[in-house]
Amino acid sequence: MTQELELDCLDQLEATPAILRGLMCDLSVEDTEWKPAPDRFSVAEVLAHLSHSEGHCYRTRVDRFVSEELPEFEPDDAQMYLELYRNANAEDAFDHFEEQRETNVEYLRTLPRSAGERRARHQEAGEITLQQMLHEWTMHDLGHIRQIAELVRARKHLKAAGKLGDSYRLKP
């Protein structure tokens, strides 16, 4: 299928695992478990969240967009699942996320561009289209890519940069 006939965002969604893999290439298990503060996520917890969201939020919604007329969606609340993310193994979470993402993008590439106009009712946002959700899904990915990048910067590079790191204001 040519890109102009596909849904938007599929290339970016497909690229996310490789971007994450690049960010994680030099991390030890201790690095992936490090948290900048008790109320903040570790890299492993972010990956567990991405893996969980991939199947339990986004793929479920895609399937309902395609199979139902105007399905109703509850807001996705990551806070409800915090215990699922605790003590996550980064590599296991990433592998599961990557497998799901590959399957999801392959499926999305089979849908005609017109499927992007399928509608659902979101309890907070009101009526939405599948295409709008794909853009939100991409924003979700990019936000967590940024979050992991900040964790890597703070954990692996800030101290090692010595005085050159003093001017950086990180928010991991």
Q: How confident is the model at residue 13, as a pLDDT?
A: 98
CB 6 within 8 A of CB 104: no
Query: For residue 2, is pLDDT > 60?
Result: no
- Spatial CA neighbour of 50 closest among 29, 71, 11, 21: 21
By DSSP bridging, strand 126-129 and strand 119-122 are antiparallel
Q: How confident is the model at residue 3, as a pLDDT?
A: 57
Q: How confident is the model at residue 84, as a pLDDT?
A: 79
pLDDT in tens, 15-40: 999 999 999 999 999 999 999 998 89
Query: For residue 69, is pLDDT > 90?
Result: yes
pLDDT in tens, 74-107: 888 766 677 778 889 999 999 999 999 999 999 9
pTM score of the predicted model: 0.93
Query: For residue 111, is pLDDT > 80?
Result: yes
Provide Rg for the chain, Cα atoms: 18
Q: How confident is the model at residue 5, as a pLDDT?
A: 80
94-115 per-residue burial string, b: 16 or more CB within 10 A, e: under 16: bebbbebbeebbeebeebeeeb
Q: How confident is the model at residue 80, as a pLDDT?
A: 67
CB 38 within 8 A of CB 159: no
Q: How far is CA 151 from the centre of its chain?
A: 15
For residues 31 and 101, give the distance between their C-alpha atoms in angstroms, rounded to a whole number: 24
Q: How confident is the model at residue 77, as a pLDDT?
A: 72
